[in-house]
A and B are shown apart, each in its own frame.
Chain A
Amino acid sequence: MKTAVFKIWRGDASGGAFRDYTAEVSEGMVVLDAIHDIQAMQANDLACRWNCKAGKCGSCSAEVNGMPKLLCMTRLNDLPLDKPITIEPMKAFPRLKDLITDVSWNFAVKKRIKPFKPRPPDAPDGTWRMAQEDVDRVQEFRKCIECFLCQDVCHVLRDHHKHDQFIGPRFLVYAAALEMHPLDTEDRIAELREAQGIGFCNITKCCTKVCPENIEITDNAIIPLKERVVDEFYDPLGWLWKKVRRRQERPPAHIS
């Protein structure tokens, strides 16, 4: 049977190093299978977070040959097996042990985004009516499995560590899903510009490249939000146009 060398990062928050493991490779194997094999046969203490093995839980996020990937969705026959395969934890989050990182920062960020605030129900039974074309756009964003690969690859977090000023692509997608929702009435634009730092994004599209759900993060979520920020803060003609339209739409005052 064919074998491959896996260079796996071993260590914790205080430091660590790559260690080589050789494992057998069979048809249809993914990187997570190899990790499990190494765990069972060579390194029982190797820490790796995983759950569904189907690319839907977003637990097994790590970096394979330098690119953020889900271990369970990265097939070995797509990798050059003649060279060692490097597997390391995500770099935008603090390391805990081996391939596991502390992603709790993401959950704290999510709490900072204004929640869904629907308009009053359309029907007396407390339900709403939405047209399909209104929900098509936001349905794409709901495919997100929160694997945080997009957060990991984003250089604003990964290299510049702007965790306290920028919410990252995952939460720009989340904000877009709320902001573009046909029932939502909340306004998040000022916060996106200021506290959530959408202006830090310089459209490298790396987040889109690594998304395992193929969400067009940059084109469909971030850029439309940037355009809404422009509407609100950087477009004097647009601002004037809205002002005029609002005045025209205002009902005439009644003279009694």
Chain B
Amino acid sequence: MTQAELTLPRRSFGQTMRADVWWAQPLVVFLGLGAFVVYSTWAAFQGRNYFFGPYLSPFYSPEIFGPSPHSWFGPKPGWWPAWLLFSPALLVLWAPGGFRLTCYYYRGAYYKAFWADPPACTVGEPRKSYLGERSFPLIMQNVHRYFLYIALLFLLVLLHDVWRALWFADPITGAVSFGLGVGTLVLAVNVVLLGGYTIGCHSLRHLVGGFLDQFSKSPACYRAYACVGCFNRRHMLWAWMSLFWVAFSDVYVRLCSLGVWHDFRIF
């Protein structure tokens, strides 16, 4: 084993014999994830224009404290330090953020795109030392299943937001009636895509049945494992679609709230 270590040559950063455009995929991931992080951070710090009628931006849901009618416990609490910037999104965004940050798919993607570890398959790396996920800080990625538990709860909250987005208040009389707007569909698609991404989680696949060696002894677990496996096979696709759509949902609600876009009522 030590013989291999001694005789293998080291390669320099970017060194490869690949003739294809190997840098394209990490570049797309870098731009896609980078754009999302920049936009979501900006949107989270805004603290306004995040609701419109019955619609609540998913970046701000659940709104634990906040000025909108969607708030669970009323406006900003009195005990909130005056020096600390307040935005309802900052209270909740860490949970879906942590879920995506520790997701097995995203880990592989951002290690390549942001840390060049490696930049792409068979392409030389910039660093000689390597710790992997077996020591701090990356050992913390093992917390993923706890973020999954929270993400599953958030899915229920977002589903409730879709239900609320079906009830429109008349601006003159204040009477509430059942209806469907384009915004309702935007929020509904968001839940479907986030659901597909969350249900396809590798940790969930393990927890619902993957931990077993004998599926035949637990048919319910086997069915759940197969169901999660179905979503898991396209986990990357769900991850990207849900990432794009959750940002778009915020954009939609924000632009409606600013009066830039008009929310079309289907009925």
Contact = CB atoms under 8 A, between A and B. Distances in A.
A161 interface: yes
B142 interface: yes
Contacts of A224: 202, 205-206, 210
Contacts of B20: 65
A162 B130 contact: yes
Contacts of B207: 227
Contact of A65 (B19, B132, B205): B19
Interface in A93-121: 93-95, 102, 105, 108-109
A65 B107 contact: no
B84 interface: no
Contacts of A158: 122
Given A182-B213, A203-B111, A155 B202 contact: no
B17 A65 contact: yes
Contacts of A127: none
Interface in A199-236: 199-206, 209-210, 218-219, 223-224, 226-231, 233-235
B112 A94 contact: no
B46 to A, nearest CB: 34
B206 to A, nearest CB: 4
Contact of B8 (A80, A92, A193): A92
B177 interface: no
Contacts of B111: 202-204
Interface in B218-237: 222, 232-233, 235
Contacts, number: 165
Contacts of B142: 226, 229-230, 233-235
B17 A66 contact: yes
Interface string A153-174: 1011011111110000000000
B16 A131 contact: no
Interface string B94-125: 00000000001101100110000110011011
Interface of A: 13, 63, 65-68, 80, 83, 86, 88, 91-95, 102, 105, 108-109, 131, 133-134, 137, 153, 155-156, 158-164, 179-182, 184, 193, 197-206, 209-210, 218-219, 223-224, 226-231, 233-235, 237-238
